[in-house]
Amino acid sequence: MFEGLGGASFSLFEPQAAAALFAGSIIGLIFGCIPGIGGIQAMAMLLPFTFSWEPITAVYLFCGIMGAADLGGSISAILLNTPGTPVNVATCFDGHPMARRGEAAKALGISASASLLGAFFGLFLLALLIQVMRPIVLAFGHAEIFWLVLFALVSTATISQGSLLYGLIAGGVGILLSLIGLSEATGLIRFTMGSEYLWDGLPLVPFFVGLFAIGELIDYSARGGTIATERFTASLKGVWDGVVEVFRHPGCLLRSSAIGTLIGIIPGIGGETANLIAYSVEVHSSKDPGSFGKGNPRGVIASEAANDSKDGGALLTTLSFGIPGSIAMALLLSIFIVHGVPTGPRLITEAPIFVWTLLLGYVVANTYASIFGLIGAKYLAMITQVPVYFLTPVIASVSLVGTYVLRQNIWDVALVVVVGIVGFAIRRAGMPLLPLVIGFVLGNLAEKSFLITLRIHDGAYVGFFDSAVSFVLIVISAALIVHKVLKSVVKR
Amino acid sequence: MASRTTFLAINFLYLMIVGSMVYAAYYYGGEASIVSLVIGVPTLVMILFAIGYGFLNGSESAVKPADTEELATAPWSRAALVGAWLLGFLILVFLIGFYASVPIFALGYLKLQGKSSWFVAMTTAALLWAVLYLSFEQLMGQELFRGIFFRALVPNF
């Protein structure tokens, strides 16, 4: 099992590889911070430069970027309520309220340490399971994925503090919005109202940047003052408090890391899902669910631990089967192919040293990123003390330019502004955003899984109920709804 | 506190979106419509229920606070003003592109909305322009949108 570990350790000390790892971590952190742009864009941009490099150097550069980008995204999510990457959406829910009440440094400390520990957890499981993970992947067929999506939706609808009804409405609207454009399952272009722009569907990044960055920008620009409503001193103590806070909630950390790893293992679900599901599970398992969305540190721990642990899970399927579970993993796999490294099950048997090199590189990259994050947190937190009139043009410009650069489509920029204004109105209406976001992210996956399950079983619905995993997910989802309804009846 | 008017407006927006999608889904038929209808029809019913509830309960208490309620406290008039600035910025981007509109927006916003000094406003606008140009155009090699006005004047601009 540990064959090749010794040889791989030496590669960490090779100057070129170490430099690539270090540079990758910094690049990932910076790209992750910029709304609309993330690690994937950095990797895609740098991919052609790495063709002539040694395979290990190229892999280390990518490890650095992947390990740091999610943490970079959490920095802008916490400070500006702008998820740097779509995988940081759930970090906004509690991270930004913490920043607004003067606890930005603490939230950044939580984010950096939870990310690091989550990544270690994911990689530790990866090292343990890499030889025996086939049954875990096979346990999640299309029907199980469909129920997992439904569970995520029900769970987030029930945690919205308003009525269950508003949560379910938002979730339904989110799913329907995700169905706009070319359907992967049927090959049909739907709900575009004749617009060519909508053929690919509503793009994820402009939708999120609008909903969170611009929606929030309107709010705090209209309020005036600073992002943090309470004065604070940006000190290392605040950052340290954040680190300590993570260790006060070991259950939350382990739960979220396990969820992140499991979701990472299942190909095709995507990193956007892990943080949202971990967040909603955390709210449900809390004795005080009302404190979430208002700056509960556990919300940040759950989101960030799941975010970084999911990479361990995603690497598991990428390395064991050669099935990339995400775009980032697909780019990583392309490095293997370009450099003639075997992929799929052959990789583990024929090039174990390469597998360990990758894992060690990933561990070091996450450590670098967290150290940079912890050191920088004290200074980054000061952003929340800058007058908002000063930040408004900066955030608006960077958000709009960042969104444009992603697809070079000017209509994405218009979408950001329109969704931002609607997002602000949704908040003002007192309606929940979380189920809308979850529905939007997972709607397509739900449809695809639903239709494939039907096809496999010749149109019979029995396929949705014939496995233990499906049964468990259905029972939990039903229990959540019943619990919420009973709770509101008892309240009255 | 969330206002009933905003609550109803959002629900009417939802009604429009979901209603039109359910209507369209009937025409796709078969597999292409099944999930849209399974999700769309119950959502439509729930939205109608919420609208009815909002109308019947004519007080602010019709709307229960949601998870982000505490974050939105800005007065509508000022929020509308910021929204107008953003829409103005968007129109500028369409017309004259990012490189011209970013400094104009930054200068205008800082001077008129932020009441900054000319020096601060101009320095910030120039720095913002330089950072965008250096990071996106030079470092990443990404060509930013030049605007329909400049494109019309100089086709290869």
- Complex prediction ipTM: 0.88
User: Which of B47, B66, B78 is the closest to A162 by Cβ?
Assistant: B66
B145 and A404 within 8 Å at the Cβ level: the answer is yes
B73 and A219 within 8 Å at the Cβ level: the answer is yes
Contacts of A45 in chain B (CB under 8 A): 140-141
User: Which of B46, B110, B140 is the closest to A169 by Cβ?
Assistant: B46
pLDDT of residue B66: 44
User: Which of B28, B39, B74 is the closest to A175 by Cβ?
Assistant: B39
> Chain A interface, mutation test: which of B11, B59, B67, most A Cβ atoms within 10 Å?
B67
pLDDT of residue A4: 64
Say if residue B76 is exposed, middle or buried (CB neighbours under 10 Å; 0-12, 13-18, 19+). middle
Residue A387 phi/psi, 5-degree rounding, is -55, 140
Report residue B154's pLDDT band, with 50, 70 and 90 as the boundaries.
low
User: Which of B43, B94, B113 is the closest to A173 by Cβ?
Assistant: B43
Contacts of A432 in chain B (CB under 8 A): 66-68
pLDDT in tens, A354-374: 778 888 888 888 888 888 878
A160 and B75 within 8 Å at the Cβ level: the answer is no
Residues 47-76 (B) with a CB less than 8 A from some CB of A: 47, 49-50, 63-76
pLDDT of residue A160: 65
Residue count of chain B: 157
> Chain B interface, mutation test: which of A154, A279, A397, A436, most B Cβ atoms within 10 Å?
A397
pTM of the model: 0.73
Contacts of A454 in chain B (CB under 8 A): 31
CB pairs under 8 A between A and B: 238
pLDDT of residue A176: 93
A428 and B47 within 8 Å at the Cβ level: the answer is no
Residues 91-150 (B) with a CB less than 8 A from some CB of A: 93-94, 98, 102, 105-106, 109-110, 113-116, 124-125, 128, 132, 136, 140-145
A177 touches B at CB < 8 Å:
yes
How close B154 gets to chain A, by Cα (Å)? 19
Q: In chain B, what percentage of residues exceed pLDDT 70?
A: 84
Contact between A450 and A146 under an 8 Å Cβ cutoff? The reply is yes
Say if residue A17 is exposed, middle or buried (CB neighbours under 10 Å; 0-12, 13-18, 19+). buried
Which contacts of B39-44 are long-range, i.e. CB under 8 A and separated by 24 or more positions?
B39/A172, B39/A175, B39/A176, B39/A443, B40/A172, B40/A176, B42/A168, B42/A172, B43/A168, B43/A169, B43/A172, B43/A173, B43/A176, B43/B14, B43/B18, B44/B15, B44/B18, B44/B19
Q: Is the pLDDT of residue B69 over 50?
A: no
Q: d(Cα A423, Cα A18) in Å, to the nearest integer? A: 43
pLDDT tens, position by position, for chain A (492 residues)? Answer: 566 667 777 777 788 888 988 898 888 888 787 765 667 767 766 766 676 788 888 888 888 888 888 888 888 888 877 776 767 888 888 988 888 888 888 888 899 899 889 888 888 887 777 666 666 666 778 888 888 888 878 877 876 656 788 888 999 999 999 999 988 778 888 988 888 888 988 887 788 778 877 887 888 888 877 766 666 556 677 788 888 999 999 999 999 998 888 888 776 566 667 888 888 888 888 888 878 888 899 999 999 898 888 888 777 777 776 666 566 776 777 777 777 777 666 676 777 777 788 888 888 888 888 888 788 776 776 776 778 888 889 888 888 888 888 788 899 999 999 999 999 898 888 888 878 887 887 788 888 889 999 999 888 888 888 888 899 989 988 988 888 888 777 776
